[in-house]
Homo-oligomer: A and B are copies of this chain.
Amino acid sequence: MPKFEKIEYKPIPVRALLLEMKNISELMIDLAYSAALFNDKELAEDVIELEERTDTLAYLLDIEIMIAARDAKDAESLIGVSTVAAAADKISDAAADIAAIVTRNIGIHPIIGEIFEKVEERLMKVTVNEGSVIAGKRIEDLDLAARMGVDIIAIRRNKDWILDPQDDERVFRGDTLITRGAPMGIKEFKDLAEGKLRELEE
Interface footprint category on A = 35 or more
Given contacts A84-B115, A97-B86, is CB(A77)–CB(B107) below 8 Å? yes
What is the chain B residue whose CB lies nearest that of A20?
B115
CA distance A128 to B118 in the complex (A): 28
Contact with B along A73-108 (1 / 0, CB 8 A): 000111111011011101101110110110000111
Partner pick for A83 among B77, B98, B114, CB 8 A cutoff: B98
CA distance A22 to B95 in the complex (A): 12
A107 touches B76 (CB 8 A): yes
What is the chain B residue whose CB lies nearest that of A77?
B109
Contacts of A162 in B (CB 8 A): none
Contacts of A147 in B (CB 8 A): none
15 A–B contacts from the bound complex (CB under 8 Å):
A14-B111, A22-B115, A22-B116, A76-B106, A76-B107, A79-B106, A80-B106, A80-B107, A83-B97, A83-B100, A84-B98, A84-B101, A86-B94, A87-B98, A94-B94
17 more A-B contacts (CB under 8 A) besides A77-B107, A79-B106, A91-B91? A19-B115, A26-B29, A32-B87, A76-B106, A77-B109, A79-B101, A80-B107, A80-B108, A84-B98, A86-B97, A87-B94, A88-B94, A90-B90, A90-B91, A90-B93, A90-B97, A94-B94
